[in-house]
Structure 1
């Protein structure tokens, strides 16, 4: 009897062991992974076994015979690629900060993006987040924010036709505001404020197509106002100072000044804008008005009739032949300009000897200076003004300073 129970128990154990082994095999990830890979290998082997085995395995197109299996394989591959492309183009939901609002994310060339209107997130070609904001007809339209590849904000504000249009703000790479104001087609246009990389205001006023043009105020590196007046092509319109009363000019230029006077000559060096203006003595005038007779600008480019020129040849083409070209003796304003250029380490000019009788807080009384010093000049007259350009010698096309005076 014991032998019989032992045999029965052995048989049952063998059956349950086999069942348990199979159960463990079926729940094993390795088993199913192997089965799936085997099935896929066989399927792909069958799919890509495109070698025809019979003439019925061909499609006949005119004089061409195309393997049916090859055609089927191509269709399958194209179908898979199309599905992958469509899936990659579908938007990815993302939360907009702490608002809890979900915004769809699209690649910049996504087909579904072309049918979106509203707020979206757009990825650039390299995958970084480039834009968050409103779109319409596949274009940035409305309020939005543009980012660079490092995630820094480049611009935030109004968009139209994929460009900055309206009111907005641009930023330096470190997040400091660069410009805030009006834009037209990505250019500063209208009223705006421009800031230095340090965050200090540099200019506030009118812009035209990306450059300072119109009325505006210039600030120095500490944020103090130094000049309020007219600008054009990013330059101060120095010509508007000529023939103005010195009291008016003092309201326009509020930066650091140096006043020079001799027995009969007076001039003021406007240090922070690099210019000197000469003054006519007004003590004999009925209204005791001291007026500016000329402005001397330390620079190698000049604003003439709305355009910037830095060549004597080009100026001659615009203003005609010079009324005078040759050497001229220096006056007090010219001597001050030349000495300022020398202090700025300009190697094109030599200092003019000047004797200072007294000085007090930026006011200098000049007892004498070398009036025999000579400068080579080209002079032109236009619209009641005399333009004088100073060169290092005859035939030199580049000037190192220029003057605008009453003719």
Structure 2
């Protein structure tokens, strides 16, 4: 049960933070895993997985799986994302850590081990795959002819390009020996049950962590088109392999996926609905705008600001007081060097500039994994006096936005939201409170 929220008129910051905490709690693996676990098989049960929620998902499966039923496996998660209570004891599922969002040697070593463990299984065996956002970088096993350096360079370019998550993961699938359905194909003839936490607009399992256990409908030609669209350079050998179609992924209808099951155990919409319910319980009407908003972060911030002004000035499409909630995955096209910040803070700085101190509007945006980009904060909060307080400190909001340095604007104001790793990930959470 969620604790009661503070009075939004007396403590708007506390109210918004409470909504965010409620959204995160709804997505914790410990609360949602049990309903989706299959019975133990005749043979062995192997747990494989990757993602920012991987450690918490492994801990949940270990706690819920019958004590007398064999269980083993390997899951890779981001550095510092293993729940302390699981890290402190010897669990039946090994959890290792690697880098995100750019893959490193530790992720490569983990992927190599998972690749080897997936082979030689029988039809009596069960593979539980625990997949969550971040798995694309954490489960990094380059396809033949591609080096880790190649993957790292392409990944960095994609992250700076402004490409949508579906586009980035289409490319990642075709440069991998384990993603895009290849992991499940390796497990044949064992049955594969995938438990996944969605961090992508539309909740498509083929996009989450680049879909290592589900067939892929995209093609090498699609990946090439995306790389051309964003002007991303490729090593000649990689380009030739994509052009020849030798890096193609397993497709829908492939017999190796027969009998497999995929369960979404937590989604962005569920977290938004939990936050909306908490707001209504506190007497504030709440509206979920969408759980799959994409686009340039600062522009999405401007749109949310325009919606808040419409509510204030015209009572449309909602009347105040109200809170407007949204999720999804926006993007940041990095055009400057040296700036700090992720999608959430860039969204907020765009919103703050558009609001121009509009009375009665408070905004929180944060990433539900507790990490905004690669920084030490989850997000931040905008209040009616944000710009004025910035001016008093000599901070010029537009200059910071132009420098992709939203962190550098909000940190001196004391307006960052810092949670540390949350051990789950249903992507962006945004709440606009209009009083």
The TM-score range, normalised by the shorter chain, is: under 0.3
- Structure with the higher helix share, 1 or 2: 2
The structure showing larger relative contact order (alpha-carbon pairs under 8 Å, at least 6 residues apart) is 2
Question: Which one has the largest radius of gyration?
Answer: 1
**TM-score, normalised on structure 1?**
0.22
**TM-score, normalised on structure 2?**
0.20
